[in-house]
Structure 1
Amino acid sequence: MGMSQQAGHCKKPVSPMNTRAALEVVRNIAWTIVLLTSTAVTGASGINRVFANLGDSAVMTCPNVTKLTMVTWKISPKTGGWCSLAHLKGHRKERTNCSDRINWRSRPEWDQALEIRQVGMADEGNYTCEVVNFDGNFHHHYHLTVLVSPRMALYCDDHGNPVCEAETVKPAAEIWWVPESNSTPRADSHDNGTVTVVSRFTAHSTSGENPTCIVSHATLNETKSIACFPSHRHLIRHTAIFVGFLIIVTFVAAIYYSKLHGYRKKRNP
Structure 2
Amino acid sequence: MTGSPQQAGWCKKPASPTDARATLKVVRKTTYTIVLLTITAVAGATGNNRVSATVGNRCVLTCPSKSNITTVTWKISRKVGGPCTLGYRADQNKTDRTNCSDSMNWKFRPDRDPALEIRQVGIDHEGNYTCEVVGTEGNFHKTYHLTVLVPPRLTMYCDDHGNPVCKAVAGKPAAQILWVLESNSTPKEEGHDNGTVTVLSTFTAYSTNVTNTTCIVSHPAGNQSMTIACHPPDNNGFILPVSITLCFLSIIIFMAVIYYFKLHSERLCLKTKPPETAPTHSPQDDTMEVEPYTTYVQKENVIYNSVSDLTAEQNLPQGLSPAT
Which consecutive unaligned segments of at least 5 residues does structure 2 have?
Answer: 254-324
Does 2:66 correspond to 1:65? yes
SS at match of 1:110: coil
- Per-residue CA distance 1:12-66 (angstroms, 9 max, x = gap): 3345786566446524532442244124313431223322111222112222222
Question: Contact 1:174 / 1:217 at 8 angstroms: preserved in 2?
Answer: yes
Give the counterpart of 2:218 among 216, 219, 229: 216
Q: If the length of structure 2 is used for normalisation, what is the TM-score?
A: 0.64
Question: Contact 2:65 / 2:113 at 8 angstroms: preserved in 1?
Answer: no
- Tell me by how many angstroms 1:5 deviates: 4.8
Which residue of the partner structure matches residue 44 of structure 1?
45
Output the CA distance in 2 between the equivalents of 1:41 and 1:20: 32
Which residue of the partner structure matches residue 147 of structure 2?
145
Moved more, 235-244 or 202-211: 235-244
User: Based on CA coordinates, which of the two structures has the bigger radius of gyration?
Assistant: 2
Output the CA distance in 2 between the equivalents of 1:91 and 1:12: 66
Question: Contact 1:68 / 1:132 at 8 angstroms: preserved in 2?
Answer: yes
Give aligned pairs, total. Answer: 247
Which residue of the partner structure matches residue 304 of structure 2?
none
SS at match of 1:226: strand
- Tell me by how many angstroms 1:3 deviates: 11
Cα–Cα, structure 1 residues 18 and 167, in superposed 2: closer, same or farther, change >3 Å?
farther
The percent of aligned pairs where both chains have the same amino acid is 57
Output the CA distance in 2 between the equivalents of 1:178 and 1:207: 15
Question: Contact 1:83 / 1:98 at 8 angstroms: preserved in 2?
Answer: yes
Which residue of the partner structure matches residue 179 of structure 1?
181
SS at match of 2:226: strand
Output the CA distance in 2 between the equivalents of 1:131 and 1:61: 12
Which residue of the partner structure matches residue 255 of structure 1?
none
Question: Contact 1:150 / 1:220 at 8 angstroms: preserved in 2?
Answer: no
SS at match of 1:211: strand
Paired amino acid for 2:184: N
Q: If the length of structure 1 is used for normalisation, what is the TM-score?
A: 0.75
Which residue of the partner structure matches residue 237 of structure 1?
238
Paired amino acid for 2:179: W
More helix by share: 2
Cα–Cα, structure 1 residues 238 and 197, in superposed 2: closer, same or farther, change >3 Å?
farther
CA RMSD between the two structures: 3.5
Give the counterpart of 1:135 among 130, 134, 137: 137
Which residue of the partner structure matches residue 164 of structure 1?
166
Output the CA distance in 1 between the equivalents of 2:233 and 2:209: 21
Question: Contact 2:46 / 2:140 at 8 angstroms: preserved in 1?
Answer: no
Q: Equivalences for 1:182-193 in 2 at 5 Å?
A: 182-190=184-192, 192-193=194-195
- Per-residue CA distance 1:216-267 (angstroms, 9 max, x = gap): 11113221111112447x742366459979xx9xx9xxxxxxxxxxxxxxxx
Question: Contact 2:153 / 2:171 at 8 angstroms: preserved in 1?
Answer: no
Question: Contact 1:179 / 1:206 at 8 angstroms: preserved in 2?
Answer: no
Relative contact order higher in (CA < 8 Å, ≥ 6 apart): 1
- Per-residue CA distance 1:73-128 (angstroms, 9 max, x = gap): 22121232212112222431212221111112223343322111222212111112
SS at match of 2:120: coil
- Tell me by how many angstroms 1:159 deviates: 0.9
Question: Contact 2:78 / 2:125 at 8 angstroms: preserved in 1?
Answer: yes
Cα–Cα, structure 1 residues 107 and 6, in superposed 2: closer, same or farther, change >3 Å?
closer
- Per-residue CA distance 1:180-239 (angstroms, 9 max, x = gap): 32324333445553322222111223755401111111113221111112447x742366
Does 2:84 correspond to 1:83? yes
SS at match of 1:220: coil
